[in-house]
Amino acid sequence: MEAVLQKFGIPSDALMIPITSGIINKTWKVTSTKGNFILQQINDHVFINPELIHGNIAAIAAYLKKNYSNYLFPSPVLNVEGTQLLKEKDSGYFRVFPFIEGTHTIDVVENPKQAFEAAEQFGRFTAYLGGFDCTKLKITIPDFHNLSYRYQQFQEALSAGNQQRIQNEKNLIGKLERLNFLVKQYDAITQNPSFKKRVTHHDTKISNVLFNEQDNAVCIIDLDTVMPGYFISDVGDMMRTYLCSVSENEEDISKIQVRPAYYYAIVEGYYKEMENELTAEEKKHFFFAGQFMIYMQALRFLTDYLNNDIYYQIQYPTHNLVRAINQVVLLECLMEYETEFKKMKL
Ligand code: GN1
Ligand code: MG
């Protein structure tokens, strides 16, 4: 690590504190006499070609700088080789971001204002990049939010996965299978010309927004999965992570509830930037966005559990199972609000 820091011009005696909210890459806050930074080691099992991420970030940064010069976009720091991405022979890919002073991240949304602010930020990102040809972006993870593909991976896990785990989780598996009408609705969207592909963040969880001390959102971070996509990915992941007062890691399912005020805050924040961009057909699917993302995440967590935890970082053996159950409960809670939320004129 000392060698890595030095290659980014950071003194090797810097203090490194792990940030554990992400479950793919490894992240540290680095405090040094040269300033504060965020250091990341990219998970190159998940991101097979990290160069693609940095090509995307550079293209977007250049567009935003030219067209929205006041937009705060934390670009990675250059290393001694003059590149953003450092490849170390034995330990993989590293990059460093400037730490934006006076900001912090949160892990659960504590008030509707935070939900509004975050939704506005992610909406603004897509809206500002409306003139950027999203097909120029490289696909950093193929089929990332392709629900059909995720369902197929789930089915593969059911035949080739850990037999004991499959046996024990029959009920949960059955529940997810009965929800597969959501896959059909997703497939219909992919065939519907009224659904547009736009520059999509694909990871709009609340910890990917930096807030200042007044609880105002300052900017968004984590552009690793920025790719062409549907708005349901970003809006859906906001619902998945802002509607409930506890995170996907909560074991006590009695704490999993949907907070209507946060739903309305997401609509308002996102609409502030995107109302004129979305087609009427897309607007009709606003509620579906939440079902789509929560269902996909439940499938992905359970698939990983059945495959013996090869994808997500876990803290204990049943962690992915707990996450999958949590997401199914959240999905059921959301579906109880279907009639109420769909009354909102969108
Ligand atoms: C992963 O590591 P993190 O938190 O940025 C995952 C997301 C999931 C999320 C669930 C590349 O994101 O898709 O929604 O975990 N990212 C990847 O916590 O798989
Ligand atoms: Mg991420």
Residue-wise DSSP of 86-123: EEETTTEEEEEEE--TT-B--SS--SHHHHHHHHHHHH
So what's the pLDDT on residue 140?
Answer: 97
pLDDT at 21 over 90: no
pLDDT at 30 over 90: yes
25, 40, 205, 294: residue to mutate for ligand 1 pocket, most atoms within 8 A of CB: 205
19, 23, 297: residue to mutate for ligand 1 pocket, most atoms within 8 A of CB: 23
Q: Same CATH fold, 112-341 and 2-98?
A: no
pLDDT at 222 over 90: yes
Give the strand pairing for 35-41 and 209-211: unpaired
For the full predicted model, state whether its pTM sits above 0.85. yes
Report the atom number in ligand 1 closest to the C-alpha of 224: 11
Nearest C-alpha neighbor of 186 from the set 147, 152, 153: 147
Tell me how far the alpha carbon of residue 74 is from its chain's centroid: 17
299 lines ligand 1 (CB under 6 A): no
If you average pLDDT over residues 272-300, what whole number do you get? 98
pLDDT at 346 over 90: no
22 lines ligand 1 (CB under 6 A): yes
pLDDT tens sequence across 127-171? 999 999 999 999 999 999 999 999 999 999 999 999 999 999 999
pLDDT at 219 over 90: yes
Q: Who contacts 228 (Cβ-Cβ below 8 Å, separation ≥6)? A: 134, 135, 137, 197, 198, 199, 200
Residue nearest to atom 16 of ligand 1 (CA): 24
46 lines ligand 1 (CB under 6 A): yes
The fold for domain 2-98 equals Phosphorylase Kinase; domain 1 (3.30.200)
- When the pLDDT of each residue in the chain is averaged and rounded to a whole number, the result is 96
* Domain boundaries defined on the chain: 2-98, 112-341
Is it true that domain 112-341 has CATH number 3.40.50.300? Answer: no
Distance 311 CA to ligand 1 centre (A): 10
Residue nearest to atom 19 of ligand 1 (CA): 24
If you average pLDDT over residues 290-307, what whole number do you get? 98
pLDDT at 247 over 90: yes
So what's the pLDDT on residue 208?
Answer: 96
| Residue 99, Ramachandran bin (φ over 0: left; ψ between -120 and 50: alpha; else beta) | beta
225 lines ligand 1 (CB under 6 A): yes
- The pLDDT > 90 percentage for the chain reads 96
Residue nearest to atom 17 of ligand 1 (CA): 24
If you average pLDDT over residues 287-297, what whole number do you get? 98
pLDDT-derived band at 323 (thresholds 50, 70, 90) equals very high
Beta bridge partners of 104: 211
Structure tokens at 31: 């405090």
So what's the pLDDT on residue 253?
Answer: 98
203 lines ligand 1 (CB under 6 A): yes
So what's the pLDDT on residue 290?
Answer: 98
pLDDT at 1 over 90: no
Report the atom number in ligand 1 closest to the C-alpha of 202: 13
pLDDT tens sequence across 81-133? 999 999 999 899 999 999 999 999 999 999 999 999 999 999 999 999 999 99
